[in-house]
Amino acid sequence: MIQGNASYFKDSLATRLAITVAGPGYVHFPLAEQAGFDQEFFAQLLSERKEKRKRLGVITTRWIQTRERNEALDLMVMCLCILEMFRGTLDTMQPVIADQTPKDTAPIQFGAQKVIVNDPVLANAFGVVRRSNHNPPGFGAAPGSGIQW
C-alpha cells in the first residue's frame, strides 16, 4: 500500500497544468482522441476546485468535487504520487514485461486461516486449535500472546 497526500498532489498537478511552455514540470497530452484524451477526460481532470475555509480561527483548504465523475483526476494524482515515490530510481529500474505463459506457483490463499493458541482459556473461548508443545512466539506471532499465525 502506498500512502500519499492527495491535496499536495492535486496542488502539484494544478501547478503543472498551469505551465504553458514545454519544459520541466510541463504536462503533455497527445492530440489523438483514441489515446483516451477526449473532452470527457479533461472534464474529469478539472472536476474539482480548491476552496479555502476558516474553521475555529484556522484557514484550511480542501478540494470540492464539482461533477460526478473524476476518475481522470484521481489517476493523475496517483501517477504523480508514484513518480514522487520512485523519483531518482526510474532510470535505473529494469523493465518488466508481462507475458502470457503460466507460472508454476502455488495460488495465494485468501480467507480465514488456522490459528494455533498456547493458552487453553483463549483456545476454548475462540474454538481454535491448542498447541501441546510450547514454542516461543517468533515472526508472525503476537508477542506475549501465545497466538501464532
Average confidence (pLDDT) over 57-81:
92
For residue 96, how many other CB atoms are within 10 A of its CB? 6
The grid coordinates listed for 111 are 480467507
pLDDT, tens only, 4-56 = 888 999 999 999 999 999 988 898 888 877 888 888 999 999 999 999 999 89
* Cα-only R_g, the chain: 25
For residue 77, how many other CB atoms are within 10 A of its CB? 22
pLDDT at 133 over 60: no
DSSP readout, 58-98? EEEEEEEE-SS--HHHHHHHHHHHHHHHTTTTGGGPPP---
CA distances (Å), origin 103, targets 63, 98, 99: 44, 11, 10
Average confidence (pLDDT) over 56-80:
92
Q: What is the pLDDT of residue 103?
A: 64
* Confidence band for 149, pLDDT divided at 50, 70 and 90: very low
Q: What is the pLDDT of residue 65?
A: 93
pLDDT, tens only, 113-127 = 665 656 666 556 555
* Confidence band for 86, pLDDT divided at 50, 70 and 90: confident
Distance CA 48, CA 86 (A): 26
Between 133 and 28, residue with greater pLDDT: 28
pLDDT at 143 over 60: no
